[in-house]
Chains A and B, each alone.
Chain A
Amino acid sequence: QQQVKQSPQSLIVQKGGIPIINCAYENTAFDYFPWYQQFPGKGPALLIAIRPDVSEKKEGRFTISFNKSAKQFSLHIMDSQPGDSATYFCAASIRAGSNYQLIWGAGTKLIIKP
């Protein structure tokens, strides 16, 4: 199964709260899990990424938690700010022949209320 299921579809959080976005996958061949952030009218940009041999990765206020046995990973945003309002995509990389492809989640529209 080459799908990445992302939830929730949308999320509204008060400033300072900790929004959590979840992703799940079935294929254990996935070997790289990035998160992309997209502001309205812009292209997505890599935010943070993790490999399956690591359970957690932090970059500033953004943390990925990875649960290999459950085949789930999540993005947490600490001390969220209105400027974090964006659409967030999780993805997973898989080898397909001599090529590597990214399989994308459906996206989560996050709104941080002041």
Chain B
Amino acid sequence: DSGVTQTPKHLITATGQRVTLRCSPRSGDLSVYWYQQSLDQGLQFLIQYYNGEERAKGNILERFSAQQFPDLHSELNLSSLELGDSALYFCASSAAARSYNEQFFGPGTRLTVL
């Protein structure tokens, strides 16, 4: 158990809908990362937050947005969903955005768009 929690574990929805994925980082970790992993694909970095502020953006679509709240939990919002958005979405946290930053991954949310 990494100490990172993600809810829900599974999500099934229809095209055009909007969903919110939630992540609670490890206690004390200030940095949160979101990743997308499609079937048998690599990890696509989406976005990073550090202590409530956006720190880095990866290949995140304009239909997707995220935020980190004062209690450090984070939410990833996916809107106007398309079939191709079906994937595993991982949240990871690290102590700080410094070098040698081990990222601890949550169990993921499996999103299925029908």
Q: A: which residues have CB within 8 A of B?
A: 31-32, 34, 41-46, 49, 51, 89, 93, 95-96, 98-102, 104-107, 109
Contacts and interface: CB of A to CB of B under 8 A. Distances in A.
A99 B48 contact: yes
Contacts of B43: 44, 89, 104, 107
A4 B42 CA distance: 12
A43 B2 contact: yes
Nearest to B90: A43
Interface of B: 2, 4, 40-43, 45, 48, 50, 55-56, 90, 92, 97-108
Contact of A100 (B40, B42, B90, B99): B99
A34 B105 CA distance: 14
A107 B40 CA distance: 9
Nearest to A98: B97
Contacts of B106: 43
Contact of B97 (A45, A49, A89, A100): A100
B105 A102 contact: no
A36 B25 CA distance: 18
B2 A93 contact: no
A31 B100 CA distance: 8
A101 B48 CA distance: 9
Contacts of A44: 43, 90, 105
Given A45-B105, A96-B56, A104-B43, A31 B2 contact: no
Contacts of B101: 93, 100, 102
Contacts of A34: 102
A44 B48 CA distance: 17
A26 B41 CA distance: 23
Contacts of A100: 97-99, 101
B25 to A, nearest CB: 13
Contacts of A42: 107-108
B45 A104 contact: yes
The 6 lowest CB-CB distance pairs between A and B, nearest first, are A43-B105, A106-B42, A107-B42, A99-B97, A32-B100, A99-B55
A52 B8 CA distance: 39
Given A45-B104, A101-B48, A104-B45, 14 more contacts: A32-B100, A43-B4, A43-B106, A45-B105, A46-B103, A49-B100, A89-B42, A89-B43, A99-B50, A99-B97, A100-B97, A102-B101, A102-B103, A104-B43
